[in-house]
A and B are shown apart, each in its own frame.
Chain A
């Protein structure tokens, strides 16, 4: 009885996996076809690798990817730096107004971003930052958003106090405790946060759409939209460009996969029962 269930489960998993991979598989096939082949069923064609070259040269694709990389990297560094600082402050340090700020933190977490879109635009316009990357990068350096701060806070609270106390007895200042003790231990959370932040910044679409008007500064998300709007007839080329744009986030996730899984199971002693 159990074996039948188990067999069904394995079959189910494989079927689900095929269903989930199929879209990408089709996109890869379609990106290697000549355009008219997509509209006629016909004999199999040899793959046209030059589609990728054309997709990359018709639009300034490498430039878009470079812009995205710049924004995502700068954003990730900012998130890791400022969220870990704030997380540590909330977790371990005592300061005046900490509890009130924690309530503010929770409020920021649940605040819907769409509601803040237009007022933030006004604020950034008043700062003269429209048409630059600053509205996309500076928020990452100013805490990065409540999610990451909470992630770090949760982790730091679980660190045994003995380590900290030992360091303090040795005369370490708070900054040194943070830098020499806390951050090295927090490597898994840093990896998880960096991964999530990188992917989030890579996929940012609405903010660059609102703040950037010179097409040369577009990240790959807005660049792909421009490509789709201008030359959307070229299904194979648009798909080729889209697939290329998907590679960096996938690479980052595969690299940090271990930490991501661990980081998301952290909190509450998860993983005790057959943990990952």
Chain B
């Protein structure tokens, strides 16, 4: 071989060997360049990614110390993945967690934040948060997560769909008033559902059949409850529960104001509302950025939950930051610093600017609501004052399965379809419910 070619060839071989095997060595010796960085995982869309990048940048600016390394998990199944990582070891240090899966793992997996509560800054921040926010992240009375942002559900109304219905009927269909009742809700649903060209296919529906989770505000409006105050007794029995189930059923079966799966295929809640195929739907503040980027822009109206015998409370859901127990020592202090930063007005203002969720701190939310050109924002923030929490327990996923099944059966296309009373009884007797909760009344 040519003598002059030996040196470059040797360099090439060494470089290739390094590229190929450096990771191998690193893998087996466990050496990590960024061992000190705080791993922070979160889910969401591209907007959430940008929001968190801004917040992390704000945190690292002027705060010397280990960096925060974001782990963006855009694919669905976040909670499952987190659970797997918590079980296998190797969970991130700080995790964004929703209140529903939080209840299952909180006591075993997350750090008790009560000592940190004594910190005046954090205590003030927590006092400034909505009550439901802080309550969401107490497990057995102990604070194990810091609330960060959340949302609730209100009734979106598509103005153009209302106008279209008005043209069809020859008289206007008015937008809901603040104090509208369930009966007025039904009347509007029925007025907003019609077959425009007479071809036998309904062109516009009044409402979108919600999942049981989204149906809770209407369920509460009927005076029904799922669990008792202590969240151990099953309360979804009796006339109020049956009325709530029957209402759900009549939406699809009797009044036909919601599209069946075959009539709905190919769309999701966002695009069906945007296109005006459904005139009203129950949804949260996360729909606002989507609508603003379409041509609907301000062509919608947000109404409160219709009033019923049980009132008109909406349902609140919260996301919070939790520190894993496996994060110890100085890294835990740094993680805590990051969590505290996320509750400062600066970070909360970033949440408000991205408009997908309501910041946990009331003061920031109020300022945002007052300044926002979009009246919907004011309504969402206002509703948060009185919003109720879902009855979240460690048995959430079993309860979810049973309720999903019941609510699907009740509006099944094909008979046999249970009556509301039958469905409520079957639900109370189902293994998931009977196994988790004390039978009620």
Contacts and interface: CB of A to CB of B under 8 A. Distances in A.
Given A128-B26, A233-B268, A36 B275 contact: yes
A229 B76 contact: yes
Nearest to A39: B275
Interface string A50-67: 000000001100000000
Contacts of B28: 128
A215 B74 contact: yes
B51 to A, nearest CB: 14
B74 A35 contact: no
Contacts of A2: none
B45 A233 contact: no
Contact of A39 (B26, B74, B267, B290): B267
Contacts of B290: 233
Contacts of A231: 45-46
Interface string B13-44: 00000011101111110000000000000000
Contact of B274 (A39, A129, A132, A134): A39
A128 B295 contact: no
A138 B45 CA distance: 32
A222 B127 CA distance: 43
Nearest to A232: B268
B41 to A, nearest CB: 11
Contact of A129 (B24, B46, B75, B270): B24
Given A226-B75, A229-B74, A58 B46 contact: yes
Contacts of A34: 294-295
B277 interface: yes
B175 interface: no
Contacts of B45: 230-231
A247 interface: no
A40 interface: yes
Interface in A149-196: none
Contacts of A229: 74-76
Contacts of B75: 226, 229
Contact of B277 (A35, A39, A138): A39
Given A128-B28, A231-B45, A215 B274 contact: no
B24 A233 contact: no
Most A CB contacts (10 A, CB to CB) among B25, B74, B290, B294 go to B74
Nearest to B27: A128
Contacts of B21: 127
A226 B46 CA distance: 10
A240 to B, nearest CB: 14
Contact of A36 (B25, B74, B296): B296
A39 B296 CA distance: 13
A34 B21 CA distance: 50
A229 B72 CA distance: 14
Contacts of B19: 134
Given A226-B74, A229-B74, A229-B76, A39 B24 contact: no
Contacts of B296: 36
Interface of A: 34-36, 39-40, 58-59, 127-129, 132, 134, 138, 215, 226, 229-233, 235
11 contacts: A35-B295, A39-B267, A39-B271, A39-B274, A39-B277, A40-B276, A127-B23, A128-B24, A128-B25, A230-B45, A230-B46
Interface of B: 19-21, 23-28, 45-46, 72, 74-76, 267-268, 270-271, 274-277, 290, 294-296
